[in-house]
Each structure stands twice: as C-alpha cells, then as structure tokens.
A and B are shown apart, each in its own frame.
Chain A
Amino acid sequence: MSLQEVFQEISAADFFYRNRDIAGFTNPTRAIYSTIRELVENSLDAAEIREIPPDIYLRVSHESGPTDGPGIYRIHIEDNGIGIPHEIIPSAFGQVLFGSKYKLRQTRGTFGLGGKMAILYGQVTTHGQATIMSSTGPTKVHEYQLTIDIQKNKPVILKHKTHPNDNRWHGAVIDFLTEADYTRAMPKVLEYLQQTAIVAPYANITYVDPRGRLYRFERATTQMPKPPQETLPHPYGVDVETMKRLIELTKERTMLGFMKTHFHRVGRTIATGFLQQVGLPPKKNPKKLAPDEIVRVVNAMKSYKFLAPDANCLSPLGEELLEAGIKKELSPEFVSVYQRKPSAYSGFPFIVEVGIAYGGEIEPKGGIRLYRFANKIPLLFDEASDVSWKAVNTQMDWRHYKASPDMPIAVFVHICSTKVPYKTVGKEFIADRPDVEREVLNAVREVARRLSLFLSKKIHLAHDKHRLDVFQKYLPKIAGFSAKLAKKEKPPDVAPLLKSVLRYEKIEESEDDQDEDAE
C-alpha cells in the first residue's frame, strides 16, 4: 500500500464485514492465515516500493481460550518499510478505503483492504483495539490506539502519543488481538512463510509462533527487483465504469487528447484511427459523451487493433532472484529458472516466470510439487483448479523429459500482471485463460527440457560410476586368482585397464550374449 496515492472512501466497513468471505475471513482457521498473509504482504510492499530489503518480524502469541480450537491470539508485526505519514494513520487502518487505481501497476494488494480487514476482524471477534506505531523517518514516531466504528466507517482514536526517533527509523508496527484457530492453520502459515521466502529472497522474515518457536528465513541477497512503473490502462482492459471515472477526472477537452493522455500506448495516429472507426469527431469533448456513446467506445476498444501493452509496469522477480529463493529454501541438487517474454491477455500485460528444482530437500511425494505465485504472493489453496496445475499435471508428459512423478521434482510458476486473472474473488487460483495457459506451458516445457538434460547426465554419471565399481570389484580378483592358478608371485597390474573403463560406451554390452545354457 503506497501513500502517494489518492484514497477515496468507498462503502461502509460493515459491507466488508458482512461479506468477509470475500476477503478470506470465513472461519477462525482461515482468518488467522489471511491476517498473517495480509500483514506480511503490506509490509513487503512497503519496503519494496523504495527498494529497501525488507526486515519483517512477526509474532503470534496465545492470549486466552483453547489452543485446540478457536482462541484469542495477539498478532504483532514490525517492518522497515517506508512508514505511514502520521496524519493518515487513523484512516489508513481505521477506515475501509478504496485505493485510487486509475493508474495501474503491479503490487501484491490491489484494494488496500486486507490489512484493515484483519484489524476489523480482530476487533469484531475480541472487542479489542489496535495499536499502530509508525514513522516515515523524521524525528518522531507516532503511536495510535484505535478502533473502527463499523457503522460510520470511521476510526475512533483512543490514544495518540509520540516518541522520539533518534535512529531515524522508518517502518510500521501493528499489534492487535484476534480470534484464531492457530493449531489448525499452522501448516498453511508455515508453508506460506516459506514460500514467501522463496519468492522474496531479499527479505529477512522472523517468525515467533505461539509456542515460542523461532522460524527465521534469512535473505540470500540484497538485490531487489526493479520496482514497477505506473502505467495507464490499456484500451483492451477498460470497462464502462472505468471509462466514466476517467471522463469525470480528465482535463482534456477533446476526444483525441483524452485518448492520448489516458490510455496505454495510444498516440495521435492510433487515436485518430480509432475515433474514425467509432465514428466520433476527434474534437468532441469527452465530458459530453452520451451514455450510449460511452458504451460504444468501450465495446469498440475491445476489437480495435491497438499496440500490445508493454511490460514496464510489471515487476517480475527475475531469473536470478527466483533461483536464489529456490536455492536458499530447498537446497536442491539442480535448479533452473526461466522468464518468458511479456505477453498480454485482454489488454493486461503479464509475465510468466518458472523454475524447476530436483533433489536436495525436496522429498518425493508421488507427484510433482507445485509452487504457485501471483505477483509474488504464494497461492496455497485450490491448487487443482489452477492453470499451472493443469499445465504441470495434465498437459505435460514428463516421460518425454526422462522425469516421473515419483522423483523429487518441484515446479515454480510465478505469474505477474497488473491484473492477475484470478478465477474467483478468493484470489487463490488462476484461471486457464488461453494466453496465460500457453505461456505457462511453454515456460514449464523449457525448464523441463533443462531438467531432462540434467537427469540424463546424472543417469550417465551413475551408469559410469556403476561400471567403474563393477570393474574395480572384479578385475583385481581376476588378477589375483589367475596369478594363483598360474603359480605367479604377484598379480598383474590392473590399473591401466581400470583407467580405460570410463571411456567405454555401451558397445561392449551387446556383444557375445548368446551363451544361454540349455537342457
């Protein structure tokens, strides 16, 4: 969540409270998972936006109630992100907001909703308040204690104090109580943190769980991905509502200027051509478009031949970082990563990055392990509905790559886009859009080819080693026994023959093999 953006109040907080399923707060198990996920992602975004290698400290401690079912837990998270200007802290955390996203770029969160949802859920289930401490780096740290007035969708400030900031610290600390079934959520929480560590290898993540166990995911690099640039919406991705808002906002007086200013990769020539096709005069004032004209423009945009979006607005991880992440968390015997060229679906640019890893800490589990990421967020639920699952499990014939599902193989698929094509609002799996599906499959095939080269080399080496072992075992015995039979003092030297063993190829094995014994 970045603060240079304009925030606008949208609907009442209780709308989201009543529809909390949408945001992943269905039950106490899912809620604690979503809470942790939203807070960690906000922290990562807050650091990455200015290329600060993130340092995140997360603690979940048991406060009261049972531990083998829903109980009360305290959530505490600290980050070294850019911090929040003190005057908007109450709104940022105490008011459900809509981030103004007329400009597009890739971030983890889209609506700036998750963090607030987490606090709201905590308040509703525990009647507690949230403590927020933050500084953007000047001389003071601001601390707020607040609750949310759900009906009015307003923050209620209970306490506000400042502390001196001698170290010029910047970042945020959030602390609140919430209801959670941590025991049941634990496996997913740990999986989430590890997968986050894979996809954010430049982050230090420290986690203390309710039993006091420390999990530490150390950064493997301080190199950061290039932050995404803001970009205009591409005509293919615009709907009537967006169009209306753009018209309301624009300062342009002509349709030609409007098209040029507000759309991605639209210049004078393209704008003129498009307007001619729709039958609108270039000089027409956009604010004077009739509702049916707006619909006409939007529909025409879907079919007109615009330039494909470019991918500057995307922030892929990059091959180097993905490889570093996989290596540091799984120490595989082999890893290969591959980034596809940018592509687009419905006017939204996207990039597919994949990795493949073999052996090391990857245990065979009777199927290929799949790690899915979207905009650097691990996706842990509904695996079988995901486009990547389809590619890896039904479209790939692993036998062609000398691989089989019972080998310790993991495949990593990262899709980054200004608009990830999630299939549902739960944001846990990605739709099998043909363009996305093609890119994923091609990328997986490429790394599978590399794995197959590695595997054949490995088989070859194992074969060579086996040959050498066999020769080393038997040749000295032949020398010894034949010397004994021939009444010689010393067995002949077999070293020169052993040396030549590895140079032999398979030729020798097929020869002289017809001496089967028979009755």
Chain B
Amino acid sequence: MKKSKKVKTTKTKTPSRVEQKKSVVLSALRSLGEQLYSQLSKKQWPSVRMPSRSITNIHYDQHTRQYILGERFVRRSARNIRHIRPLTQLVWTGSFVDELAREGKTSTLRDVFYSAQAYEMSFTDQAESDDIITDLETVLEHPREDFNVFPEERSAIFGDLTIQYTVRGYEGRKLNLASHPDGMMIGPALTNAEFAECKADKIIAIEKGGLFTRFIEERVHDKYKALLIHTAGQAPRATRALIRRMSQELGLPVYIFCDADPWGMHIANVIIAGSANAAHLRELNTPDAKWAGVYASDIVDYKLPSDPLTDLDIKRLYELQKDPRYDTKLWKREIEAFLRLKRKSEQEAFSRYGLAFIVDKYLPARLKELG
C-alpha cells in the first residue's frame, strides 16, 4: 500500500466533484420548478411523480447490497385536496434549498421547519417538515446533505487527511484533520470539502466517544495509519456519505468497531448496507466496509465482563435474523452466538486488561483476521 496518496485536485478548469454534485442538484431543482410551471401554464393541475416509499415498495437489492425502492410510484397532484398542501410544501422547500445552495449556506431540519412559517406555509410539526424533506430527496434523488440541509447530530473525524474547503469564505484553504486532538466535527464544511492529501491507509469507525479519544491518545492513527471516525451512536447520514466517499475516492478499507450487542451490530450494518429509511437514496452506504467487533465470540475468547441480554435485546436479535442485510456468514454466526450466550459487552470492557490492551492486542489481531 502506498505511503501517501495525493488526491488529484482541481485548480480552476474542470469542476470538482463537490461542484459537479452541486450543479446536478441545482439543475434537478430547476427542472422540478419547470415541470410544475409548464403544467400550470398549460392549465393542467401541477403534479409530481415519485417512487412510493411505502414499506411494501422497499426491497433489498443484492446487486447494490442495500435497500432500494421498487417499481411503484405515487403522484402528488394539486388536484387532490389531500395532496395540494404537501405538494405546496414540497415546492416551497425546493425553492428554499435552491436559495440555500445559491448562497452557499446550510440549514438544519429544524431551520426548515421554522423558515416555513415566514411564508404562511407552516408545518404542523417537525415530523411533517422532515417528511417533506424526504419527499424532496426522493424527487431529486439526492440526500438532503447535497442540498445543504443537515441534521443536528454531528460526529467527528481524526487522522492524517488534508482537506481543501469549498465553502464560502474558506475556498481553497486547507486543513489537516489531525490538527486537533479532539477530532474535527463532520459538519457541512467538511462534508463539502475536497480531499487534498491522505497519508492514512484505512478507516476505523468507532461507536463511542470515550474509545475514540483513547484511540487518539494511544496514537492508533500513527500505529495503524488510520483515519478515526467517531460515529456517536448511529452514524449520521453525512458521516455515512463521507465514509463512502473516503472509501471510494481514497480507496481505503473501512473497519467498524462497536459494542457487542444487537444495537452496536446495527450501527455497523447501517454503515455497510444502509437503512430502509434511505431506500430512496444511493451512495450513502459502504458495502465493502467490515464489521470489526466487538463480536459475541470475543466475549468468550477474551473473557470480557458482560451483562445479560434484555428481552428487548433478544427480540431485536430475532428481527435481525430475518433482515436481508444480515444474510452473510459472519453476521449469522454472531447473532447465533449472542442468542446462545445471552450476554453482551461494551467496547470499554477491554479495559479490564489495561487501557492499552484494546489497541495493542485486540486491534492488530482483528485487523489481521479481517485482512
């Protein structure tokens, strides 16, 4: 593996990936507007067609290894009195994010909810406005992060990757992501940044903040040439998208490290196989990422301190058994191991062997095992 990877960056002529994506989103927004405009000009009832997100229309696709939407479509038509309000909200949201994108500003889901009130478009609640954002994602076929609407949750990254900002006021400026020992927040600016130079050769995603800090203190980024990502529980979509980009653009393998329980497993699985909620979107998952533990079998092998599984944990395990995303040897083996053991452990459980054990013994063994 190469020691350092210089990412081909663009100075002026050819537009960067980020810029390309931005222009694709803007033109999708414009054609949405043009479609409705032309329907109205022809004295037709404006309507928008999009794939149905009904649960019966969500299928697991073996090819892309993620959930996708099926063949069924729905039409939101202004002619239908029950559709005209959500359709109006959809167009309003479109024009709102169009403005955001043009001005290079970002917004949160909560912002959208409040901004609507200025246009007498008030949403009944946040759930309604979130739903409209999801509609817009479905219509535009882009995640909301692409049109500058971000969730509140932020996760963090640390490691030897130099990024180049594209956001207004920082254009062209560079930053090494190892500059701050707490890690760098994965927010809109980082999400929209280009990768300038990368010296890492792998990515390790960690569920817990405490362990993320431990890894930095134990210099895992040096010892294993790794980019460390703190998922802060279930990884936000911006983080999942960033992991995918780094994995693809930088060609780095991804290892995910979570608690040894069904919920930890699912954090890893969503990064790998995506969620049903995002079945209308692509390029949020990293199919080649690897679940690196903590496995049920580790609880036995390493004699980790453990707690009994709750009824809820067990119920969740049975659900996961039926989930097509868990249809591989490793997942199946470990679900069975959990059900057999009826115990769970946290990542921090390795501390019984000293603070460095997890980094010095467990991690190299697991990385070697996974190749």
Contact = CB atoms under 8 A, between A and B. Distances in A.
B34 A486 contact: yes
A504 B88 CA distance: 20
A509 B81 CA distance: 7
Interface string A453-490: 00000000000000100110011011101111111100
B40 A494 contact: yes
Interface string A486-506: 111001111011000000100
A504 B81 CA distance: 10
Contact of A467 (B30, B78, B81, B92): B81
Contacts of B53: 515, 517-518
Q: Which of A478, A483, A517 lies at the interface centre, i.e. has the most chain B CB atoms within 10 A of its CB?
A: A478
A513 to B, nearest CB: 7
Interface in B68-91: 74-85, 87-88, 91
A493 B42 CA distance: 10
A518 B54 contact: yes
A519 B55 contact: yes
A474 B78 CA distance: 9
A519 B46 CA distance: 28
Interface in B24-83: 29-30, 32-37, 40-41, 43, 45-46, 52-55, 58, 74-83
A470 B84 contact: yes
Nearest to B36: A482
B17 to A, nearest CB: 25
A458 to B, nearest CB: 19
Nearest to A484: B95
B131 interface: yes
A487 B30 contact: yes
Contact of A483 (B37, B54, B276): B37
Contact of B74 (A474, A514, A518): A514
A231 B223 CA distance: 122
A488 B36 CA distance: 12
Contact of A512 (B43, B75, B85): B75
B20 interface: no
A41 to B, nearest CB: 57
Contacts of A519: 55, 276-277
Contacts of B43: 496-497
B98 A485 contact: yes
Contact of B81 (A491, A494, A508, A512): A508
Nearest to A517: B53
A515 to B, nearest CB: 4
Contacts of B35: 482
B69 to A, nearest CB: 11
B84 A482 contact: no
A264 to B, nearest CB: 64
A292 interface: no
A474 B46 CA distance: 11
A516 interface: yes
A485 B32 contact: yes
Given A512-B74, A515-B52, A519-B277, A474 B85 contact: yes
A508 B75 CA distance: 12
B134 interface: yes
A477 B74 CA distance: 22
B276 A482 contact: no
A493 B44 CA distance: 11
A478 B37 CA distance: 9
B82 A514 contact: no
Nearest to A486: B33
A515 B74 contact: yes
B77 A516 contact: no
A248 interface: no
Contact of A513 (B46, B82, B87, B92): B82
A511 interface: yes
Contacts of B121: 477
B94 interface: yes
A497 B45 contact: yes
A516 B40 contact: no
Contacts of B40: 478-479, 482, 491-494, 497
Contacts of A496: 43
B52 A514 contact: yes
Contact of B94 (A481, A493, A504, A517): A481
Contacts of A483: 33, 37
A326 B46 CA distance: 50
5 contacts: A470-B85, A482-B33, A484-B33, A515-B53, A518-B55
Q: Return the 4 tightest CB-CB contacts between A and B, nearest first.
A: A485-B33, A518-B55, A486-B33, A482-B36
Interface of A: 467, 470-471, 474-475, 477-479, 481-488, 491-494, 496-497, 504, 508-509, 511-519
Given A474-B84, A478-B46, A485-B98, 17 more contacts: A471-B84, A477-B88, A477-B91, A478-B87, A482-B34, A482-B35, A486-B34, A487-B30, A488-B37, A492-B37, A492-B41, A509-B80, A512-B75, A512-B76, A513-B82, A514-B54, A515-B53
